Structure 1
């Protein structure tokens, strides 16, 4: 099997798609993102994560610059996901109080007050996760004085389970894949009156996933404030598409120039690749066990809102094998010359691995030409997670597991 499979999105920026997606962009305007960021900044330990310029790596592969936003520093939780979870839970708590978190300018500290806890009682938040999202939900629930129950798909790392339990939540690894576990937790929420906090949507469950997506935009606002000039290309991890959709929606509006967006997924969970390949208005789902080291991307059903955005503005969708993600981890973990080291987990490094492969392997010359990657390209990546599974990180980066043959 090839290391990469790719499909050119034939629906790319068709007028009818742009018109359909236009209404969704309003959720990710600069004003809205500013309100989200303002709430995040009310957390007393909030810090902006670094943006790294890897000039030596860029020179090696023949582009102007490679830029990496490093979310492994976010809230000391080693991943970006907490941004979505804490904003969504904050919005929910504010709504239960009959207030608007943005208009009333409620702070993190106000929402965690004993007075509010007494008004609302013992709320329980429930979620499905491979690790990062659930840890963020567990952290946010605990910090605001509530409880969390987190369920993980089969094959999840014990270390990620332990990290969630360390945040004070009940956590359990199921025998189901990610999408079936989402359905299971949804049923538990209905039966017990718990509040489900999930970053994918289905009919009747749209509000909280939108808040989660909006929560992610704080990191994108940081990026545009840290950059000197706009990127020409952005490689994004897919999963259910919520993160990628939020990034695309904001950048598409913020910069008055065309940006080439590329999605990256594992072979075994390539719902966006299959959806673009099908060339239909509706997305395609994939099933099965979906066992991959890219656990954060092991999702087979797109978020419908993210699909509307990504089918409109994404140029190419790529799915890759385990070796590609492992290569990305080693590239970032062992930088060239004066480039700074970045500790990236499997999902965090997959887009960098894909980029390196298509830039250095003649087998993908057509893909490189399609994306118009050349000496004028400024390519942006977001390292969505650090070494959230330390043992596997060490096996890959130290011991050469999933080495390219």
Structure 2
């Protein structure tokens, strides 16, 4: 095992789980069911693989490691394909129903029956890459114009992928949170519609739809597993992925739902700081992390409502252990299936490996030889140049 794992400095904060109410109220069973019915009807839908990393599990001393590989999702390379595009469809449904003064169905929009009307509704969002790509893909399918705002550190490859789907991409000089603020300002000034995975006061429906779309992934996991996991390690970011998965697992398993461990870059730990403060808390990002999709300083307030009840632990990891984890997974070390993954996808796996090499951390997280750990491989290779550099030995890109 790479020495970086043994020397990783991880920060841990205990959550304070409360009675699981938000997992049913913020995201209802009907929210998840509606999203799954719609998304499973899309051309190209297929469940993504749940990969057993049995060799690695034996090496680090846990009973199971199950890795949900979202790389093949709709050809877009990440779980975000389930969120942004579905939320776009729901925004169009609400706006068209209001304009036409009659109910408009999701299937009618999907079939192109309202293409001329959709062409008059501009959808916008800020992104680190994957959410914007999903929104652009959805807008192309449904016939709506799309504007995407990206920050200075988003790679050229991810920018080009969104442009190839027809989006107008605006790059700013600030960070992700600055791009979010500019998106809101320009949308309000121009009558555009924000499709964000982040909620704020007065803005909740699209983020709820985004998280409902993510529930498709969770339901696939639950159907594939024969036993409930004891732990699930979930990437942080704004919290939407983690909250959606935690809620879906709680709804499915009830009292047998796994222990939820939130994993963030130590350079962008807004959820860990929120846990310490006892309320959604913003942090300033002084230096960008290699985990581009997790470089977020402002948590989603809606997601936090779920995580403050469901998350048992919050940990941060250093960038130094990310590239070695990408290489380990891609090379199929210890006899496992080779999986090509992006930097943000391996955050949970990197945390599990590092924790099992630190007795105090493993004990704090309740990780032992009986643990069955679920991991969400949130993206495949969304930037081939970065992946190539990592596989060539670069630890910083």
TM-score range, shorter chain: over 0.9
Tell me the equivalent position of 1:5. Answer: 10
C-alpha distance in 1, partners of 2:243/2:234? Answer: 9
SS of aligned partner of 2:146 = strand
The correspondence for 1:304, drawn from 301, 304, 309, is 301
Tell me the equivalent position of 2:64. Answer: 65
The correspondence for 1:179, drawn from 171, 177, 180, is 177
> What's the offset of the Cα at 1:398?
2.3
Tell me the equivalent position of 2:53. Answer: 54
C-alpha distance in 1, partners of 2:257/2:47? Answer: 27
C-alpha distance in 2, partners of 1:252/1:296? Answer: 25
Consecutive unaligned residues in structure 1, runs of 5 or more = none
The verdict on how the C-alpha distance between 1:105 and 1:29 changes in structure 2, with shifts beyond 3 A counting, is farther
The correspondence for 2:379, drawn from 380, 385, 388, is 385
Tell me the equivalent position of 2:321. Answer: 324
2:97–2:104 CA contact under 8 A, matched in 1: no
C-alpha distance in 2, partners of 1:105/1:233? Answer: 41
The correspondence for 1:224, drawn from 222, 225, 228, is 222
The verdict on how the C-alpha distance between 1:56 and 1:120 changes in structure 2, with shifts beyond 3 A counting, is closer
Tell me the equivalent position of 1:269. Answer: 268
2:215–2:245 CA contact under 8 A, matched in 1: yes
The correspondence for 2:186, drawn from 185, 188, 210, is 188
Tell me the equivalent position of 1:33. Answer: 32
> What's the offset of the Cα at 1:12?
1.5
The verdict on how the C-alpha distance between 1:34 and 1:368 changes in structure 2, with shifts beyond 3 A counting, is same
The correspondence for 1:129, drawn from 119, 127, 130, is 127
TM-score (normalizing by structure 2): 0.92
C-alpha distance in 2, partners of 1:195/1:63? Answer: 46
SS of aligned partner of 2:281 = coil
Tell me the equivalent position of 1:354. Answer: 351
Moved more, 84-93 or 339-348: 84-93
Verify: 1:344 aligned to 2:348, yes or no: no
Tell me the equivalent position of 2:87. Answer: 88
C-alpha distance in 1, partners of 2:131/2:119? Answer: 24
SS of aligned partner of 1:42 = coil
1:43–1:107 CA contact under 8 A, matched in 2: no
C-alpha distance in 2, partners of 1:396/1:277? Answer: 34
Consecutive unaligned residues in structure 2, runs of 5 or more = none
SS of aligned partner of 1:357 = helix
2:265–2:317 CA contact under 8 A, matched in 1: yes
> What's the offset of the Cα at 1:30?
4.0
Could you give the per-residue CA deviations for residues 232-272 of structure 1, whole angstroms, max 9, x where no partner exists? 10000000001100100110121131411111111111111
Moved more, 323-332 or 158-167: 323-332
C-alpha distance in 2, partners of 1:252/1:331? Answer: 31
Tell me the equivalent position of 2:210. Answer: 212
> What's the offset of the Cα at 1:107?
4.9
> What's the offset of the Cα at 1:27?
4.4
> What's the offset of the Cα at 1:121?
4.2
1:326–1:350 CA contact under 8 A, matched in 2: no
Tell me the equivalent position of 2:395. Answer: 401
C-alpha distance in 2, partners of 1:314/1:23? Answer: 12
C-alpha distance in 1, partners of 2:150/2:352? Answer: 30
The correspondence for 2:165, drawn from 164, 167, 178, is 167
Aligned length: 387
TM-score (normalizing by structure 1): 0.91
1:54–1:66 CA contact under 8 A, matched in 2: yes
Let me know the Cα RMSD of the aligned residues. 2.0
2:118–2:143 CA contact under 8 A, matched in 1: no
SS of aligned partner of 2:354 = helix
SS of aligned partner of 1:97 = helix
C-alpha distance in 1, partners of 2:169/2:118? Answer: 23
Verify: 1:237 aligned to 2:230, yes or no: no
C-alpha distance in 2, partners of 1:396/1:58? Answer: 23
